[in-house]
Amino acid sequence: MDQPTIFILPGWQDSGPRHWQSIWLAKYPQAIKVVQNDWMYPEKKQWVETFHEYIEKYNSKDIILVGHSLACAVIAHWSDEYFSHTHANITGALLVSPIDMDAPNFPKEIQGFSPICLEKLKFRSIVVASESDTWSNIQRTNYFAQCWGAEMINIGKQGHINVDAGFGEWPQGEKILQELMEPHGLEMLQNHMLLDELQYVDSGADIK
């Protein structure tokens, strides 16, 4: 059985060579990086259109999306604006550390992505978040997951889940990816992951 194509979508300023996204890109032969024209001064329309061009180029294959940070917003906007126009089969999305573009004092370079799209995603998705992420508090991230219809995994106080937070190799994240690649992987993840490894939070939980 053919493995799905994995689209790696970095966020603002790209993911460097020690970032877990870059490690996965090198590890999985079917992984493809969505390369944006300008990593420093992103424009929402351009980033979403570029992503759509990649989708259309590989629309004959099953596709899994792996977005980090700002790229989670790109995926959400694409789902809302373009999904109905594609024949691509998006089998799942892993959304790691989505950022809250609507927070006050957000960097002006990426304010064009506000407001964040909160429409339900058109495909199965998992949000992985940290309780100590300075780019979005856990309550807001829970709310994003609920709006997107995504499952939510809280991995505790782990910063922005990037290199600065100590994430190069990320075995936990890779296990989630591998479960997502399986037809019943999400159910397996919920039923068999140890509680001291990952805290599973249902997307239907109360958001305060």
| 37, HSE (Cβ side, Cα atoms, 13 Å) | 11
98 near 129, Cβ under 8 Å?
A: yes
Strand, helix or coil for residue 66: strand
pLDDT of residue 127: 97
Could you tell me the pTM of the whole model?
0.87
**pLDDT tens-digit profile of 10-69?**
999 999 999 999 999 999 999 999 999 999 999 999 999 999 999 999 988 999 999 999
**pLDDT tens-digit profile of 121-167?**
999 999 999 999 999 999 999 999 999 999 999 999 999 998 888 88
Q: Average pLDDT of 184-199?
A: 47
pLDDT band at 81 (very low <50, low <70, confident <90, very high): very high
End-to-end CA distance of the chain: 43
CA distances (Å), origin 114, targets 65, 76, 98:
21, 12, 13
Domain locations in the chain?
A: 5-201
**pLDDT tens-digit profile of 176-185?**
999 888 764 5
Give the CATH number of domain 5-201: 3.40.50.1820
- The secondary structure element, H or E, covering residue 20 is helix 20-27
Question: Beta strand pairing status for 89-96 and 62-68?
Answer: parallel
Taking alpha carbons only, the member of 168, 177, 179 closest to residue 23 is: 168
Q: What pairs with residue 65 in β-bridges?
A: 7, 93
